[in-house]
């Protein structure tokens, strides 16, 4: 089974796979694959070692995994700059800003505290393609670099890491946030220190929740996966807007003044409309996944903005953005990528841009979100079926076509096998919630009948 999943290596920390031994070996293999590139010969001629930036979210296992990663890199002759607890997009930014050879983030994003993960970024702060991940995995069982004496790497604290990131974020704002009251839910995660700081520096009045990480409470009842806490806080404080991060702050969801949730599709609609108006939406195109709401497509069509559709996963969004030199893309989950400012999804950047658009236009978040009508969507995960036969079962595909015909232009159907779990996802959008629910349940029954194990 492949070690790397859709977003690095992830699992139960100190469990069967994600151990200190693996973290050390993975770091050593990464040093071989990413530390010996085209610049290696010139670097050696100048007496310089490869350098890497590492960081983590606040879960307790990140401490021993981070130490193992640092040891693996230094033992391979790589100088390590430890940025401590910072968001994943901050690590990606620092790799590029610091001209590091690569970076390693230790985080399991929105997962529970017992889990952890290792994400690797190449030079420039970009995620690795599958072929490079495969090379690193092959090198796990091969001889590693083993310098001695003065040639081993050093480990140092990256003292101004957070300040560099904050200054970068502030430089992206379309307008200052003076006069706006923002509630920020940091998910007891990596954004707990930096997100309140950057919003306050931008001029906002800030109320903070979910910003007391103790290593065990990350994502626990707070953050982008538990929006009810933020919804209540925004209304209770009479705030203008709420911003929710996940554990490593690479995503952002929002709440308007009335407590209504603004999801990733609505956020993309707001940003695309703004960038289109200002003439900075590259190719006049938005990149979104097949899971994005039908309302987003219709809203973009009304504005004359094209949509490029990808498979689910921010790596596929990034690939399409890079291939077409597009400037905006993302997912319904709140992973939003603005390529002018970031190489990956950045929840702090996204949040700042949303609130900045409120400041620039003088509109409420609800008014901005009205650019898009959200079509009711029902998603059912059908477990314990043979997901490999989804495309080949003609009776199932016929049932899908029948539902699509019934919906016409007022909805859509998406049937897909999960890439990580043994289940099939049935998603139906329709003009009303009851229709979406009943049609999704009808297809669920066909999936269970036709794909039974």
Same domain, 429 and 358: no
Does residue 333 share a domain with residue 203?
Answer: yes
**Active-site residue among 61, 75, 109, 192?**
109
Question: Greater confidence, 421 or 274?
Answer: 274
DSSP collapsed to 3 states, 254-310: EEECCCCEECHHHHHHHHHHHHHHCCCCHHHEEEEECCCCHHHHHHHHHHCCEEEEE
d(CA 169, CA 191): 13
Domain boundary among 99, 128, 159: 159
Residues 75-101 have a mean pLDDT of: 97
**Residues 6+ away with beta carbon under 8 Å from 38:** none
DSSP state of 3: S
Is the residue at 2 inside a domain?
Answer: no
Let me know whether 28 and 118 are in one domain.
yes
Strands ordered across the beta sheet of 412-417: 377-383, 423-429, 412-417
Taking a C-beta distance cutoff of 8 angstroms, is the pair 109, 250 a contact? Answer: yes
Give the number of other CB atoms < 10 A from CB of residue 280.
13
Query: Where among 369, 392, 423 does a domain terminate?
Result: 369
- Taking only the tens place, the pLDDT of each residue in 104-119 is 999 999 999 999 999 9
pLDDT of residue 422: 77
- Measured CA to CA, the distance from residue 345 to residue 327 in angstroms comes to 12
Please, which pLDDT band fits residue 243 given cuts at 50, 70 and 90? very high
Distance (Å, rounded) from C-alpha 258 to C-alpha 276?
27
**Of 5-19, 311-325, 339-353, 398-412, where does the model show the most confidence?**
339-353
**Are 93 and 177 in a shared domain?**
no
Q: What pLDDT score does 39 carry?
A: 58
Question: Does 3 fall in a domain?
Answer: no
Same domain for 200 and 291, yes or no, is yes
Binding residues: 109, 246, 248, 250
- Best CA proximity match to 291, nearest among 272, 315, 324, 264: 264
**How many domains are contained in the chain?**
3
Q: Is 60 exposed, middle or buried (0-12, 13-18, 19+ CB in 10 A)?
A: middle
Q: What is the separation, in whole angstroms, between the first and last Cα of the chain?
A: 22
- CA distances from residue 391 to 17, 292, 406, 429 in whole angstroms, order as listed: 32, 21, 21, 20
Report how far residue 432's alpha carbon sits from residue 450's, in angstroms, rounded to the nearest whole number.
28
Distance between CA atoms of residues 111 and 297, nearest Å: 30
Give CA–CA dist 329/341, Å, rounded. Answer: 13
Residues 206 and 143 in one domain: no
- Which segments of 42-96 are extended strands (E)? 50-56, 78-85
For residue 143, what are the domain limits?
Answer: 9-159
Determine, yes or no, domain membership for 86: yes
Bridge-based pairing of strands 126-127 and 115-122 is antiparallel
According to DSSP, the β-strands at 50-56 and 78-85 are: parallel
Nearest alpha carbon to residue 188 among 240, 229, 160: 229
Is the pLDDT at 421 greater than 90? The verdict is no
- As a whole number, the mean pLDDT across the chain is 94
Q: Are residues 424 and 332 in the same domain?
A: no
Residues 191 and 296 in one domain: yes
Q: pLDDT of 222-242, one tens digit each?
A: 999 999 999 999 999 999 999
CATH number of the domain where residue 382 is located: 3.30.310.50
Active site residue 109: yes
Q: How confident is the model at residue 324 (pLDDT cuts 50, 70, 90)?
A: very high
The answer to whether residue 1 sits within a structural domain is: no
Asked which of 127, 159, 191 is the last residue of a domain, the reply is 159
Query: Which residues are annotated as part of the binding site for Mg(2+)?
Result: 109, 246, 248, 250
Same domain, yes or no: 210 and 290: yes
Residues 188 and 319 in one domain: yes
Q: Are residues 228 and 335 in the same domain?
A: yes
Do the beta carbons of residue 156 and residue 79 sit within 8 Å?
yes
Asked if residue 3 has pLDDT above 60, the reply is yes
Please report how the helices 161-170 and 194-201 are oriented relative to each other, as an axis angle in degrees rounded to 10.
40
Percentage of the chain beyond pLDDT 90 is 89
| Maximum pairwise Cα distance, the chain | 73
Q: Is residue 116 within 8 Å of 138, Cβ to Cβ?
A: no
Coil, helix or strand at residue 101? coil
pLDDT score for 313: 84
Three-state secondary structure call for residue 340 = coil
pLDDT > 60? residue 424: yes
Residue 315 in this model has a pLDDT that exceeds 90: no
> pLDDT tens-digit profile of 31-67?
999 987 655 666 665 668 999 999 999 999 999 999 9
pLDDT single digits (tens) 369-410: 999 999 999 999 999 899 999 899 999 999 999 999 999 988
Same domain, 282 and 253: yes
Helix 264-277, helix 347-361: angle, nearest 10: 50
- Count of beta carbons in the 10 Å neighbourhood of residue 200: 15
Give pLDDT tens digits for 256-265: 999 999 999 9
8 A C-beta contact, residue 276 and residue 284: yes
């Amino acid at each position: 089974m492949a070690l790397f999943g859709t977003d690095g290596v992830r699992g139960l920390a100190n469990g069967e796979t994600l151990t200190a031994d693996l973290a050390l070996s993975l770091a050593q293999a990464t040093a071989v694959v990413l530390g010996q590139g085209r610049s290696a010969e010139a670097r050696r001629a100048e007496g310089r070692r490869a350098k890497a930036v590492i960081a983590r979210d606040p879960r307790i296992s990140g401490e021993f995994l981070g130490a193992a990663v640092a040891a693996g890199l230094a033992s391979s002759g790589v100088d390590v700059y430890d940025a401590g607890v910072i968001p994943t997009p901050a690590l990606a930014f620092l790799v590029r800003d610091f001209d590091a050879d690569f970076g390693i983030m230790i985080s399991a994003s929105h997962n529970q505290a017992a889990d952890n993960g290792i994400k690797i970024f190449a030079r420039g702060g970009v995620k690795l393609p599958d072929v490079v991940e495969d090379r690193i995995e092959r090198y796990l069982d091969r001889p590693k670099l083993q310098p001695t004496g003065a040639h081993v790497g050093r480990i140092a604290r990256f003292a101004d890491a957070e300040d560099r990131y904050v200054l970068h974020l502030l430089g992206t704002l379309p307008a200052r946030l003076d006069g706006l009251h923002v509630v920020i839910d940091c998910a007891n995660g990596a954004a707990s220190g930096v997100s309140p700081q950057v919003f306050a520096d931008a001029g906002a009045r800030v109320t903070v929740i979910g910003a007391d990480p103790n290593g065990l409470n990350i994502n626990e009842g707070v953050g982008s996966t538990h929006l009810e806490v933020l919804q209540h806080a925004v209304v209770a404080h009479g705030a203008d807007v709420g911003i929710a991060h996940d554990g490593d702050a690479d995503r952002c969801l929002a709440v308007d003044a009335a407590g209504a949730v603004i999801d990733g599709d609505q956020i993309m609609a707001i940003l695309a409309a703004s960038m289109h108006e200002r003439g900075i939406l590259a190719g006049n195109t938005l990149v979104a996944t097949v899971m994005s709401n039908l309302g987003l497509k219709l809203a973009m069509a009304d504005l004359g903005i094209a949509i490029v559709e990808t498979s689910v996963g921010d790596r596929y969004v990034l690939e399409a953005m890079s291939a077409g030199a597009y400037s905006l893309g993302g997912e319904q989950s709140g992973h939003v990528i603005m390529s002018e400012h970031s190489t990956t999804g950045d929840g702090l950047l996204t949040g700042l841009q949303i609130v900045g658009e409120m400041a620039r236009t003088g509109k409420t978040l609800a008014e901005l979100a009205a650019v898009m009508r959200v079509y009711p969507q029902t998603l059912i995960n059908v477990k314990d079926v043979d997901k490999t036969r989804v495309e080949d079962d003609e009776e199932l595909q016929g049932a899908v076509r029948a539902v699509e015909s019934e919906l016409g232009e007022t909805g859509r159907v998406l049937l897909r096998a999960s890439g990580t779990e043994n289940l099939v996802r049935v998603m139906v959008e329709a003009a009303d919630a009851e229709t979406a629910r009943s049609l999704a349940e009808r297809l669920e029954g066909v999936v269970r009948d036709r794909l039974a194990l």
